[in-house]
Amino acid sequence: MNTILHPTYFPNISHFKAIVNAENLVFEVEDNYQKQTYRNRTHIYGANGRLTLNVPVHHSHKNRTLYKDVKIANDIDWQLQHWKSLQSAYKTSPFFEFYEDEIAPLFHSSHKYLLEFNFKCLDLILDCMELELTFDVSKTYEKDIYNYSDFRPLVNARKEIEILHEPYTQVFSNKHGYINNLSILDLLFNEGANTFQCLHSQKNVL
């Protein structure tokens, strides 16, 4: 399958299923930045249920800004907050300690551009999964795509496409039940080496 979609902050399960099931993968990098999308947010499973982690960014409210030009607002101590949230949420998960040393450096170094940071998040998850991935990036923005399966709508967090995934054991599921379509980190910390199989064995997302 030819697939095009957006790079996002620690992609959710729907995004990652589309990634691993793609035969030819293209990431959209020529679009305008939009608020309330997964470009700069992800959901994890905290002690009180779904918890949103937002990467703060600088962008113009008047003029359109290309996604690739959006800068992270590093004057806010968001990295420490995100890392503490991940530790609190997953310290008792089966595989957090196994991946902790690989993931921690990402939250202890500065990153200038959101798009570059999101690709680093993707590279990190692929390393943890021991998965090699080849992909291209878009050269121009095309509103209508005819030769690729267009999964770009998955980036919309405000009007999220409801896709039910096969449940797996989550840390706080005894309190709040199974929460669907969280960050790939949730699946990784709970399933470890079985993460790829969990993703690949399911049907395409759309």
Cα separation of 132 and 106, whole Å? Answer: 20
> pTM to 2 decimals?
0.93
Q: Which residues have CB under 8 Å from 60's CB, separation 6+?
A: none
Q: Where are the beta strands (DSSP E) in the chain?
A: 2-5, 24-27, 41-46, 49-54, 57-58, 71-72, 136-137, 149-150
Q: CA nearest 13: which of 44, 55, 53? A: 44
Cα separation of 60 and 48, whole Å? Answer: 34
Cα separation of 195 and 20, whole Å? Answer: 11
Residue 147: left if φ>0, alpha if ψ -120 to 50, beta else—which one? alpha
SS3 31: coil
Q: CA nearest 183: which of 103, 101, 116? A: 103
Cα separation of 29 and 50, whole Å? Answer: 28
Per-residue pLDDT of the chain (206 residues; tens, 9 = 90+): 799 999 999 999 999 999 998 999 999 999 999 988 999 999 999 999 999 999 999 976 667 899 999 999 999 899 999 999 999 999 999 999 999 999 999 999 889 999 999 999 999 999 999 999 999 999 999 999 888 999 999 999 887 777 778 889 999 999 899 999 999 999 999 999 999 988 876 655 55
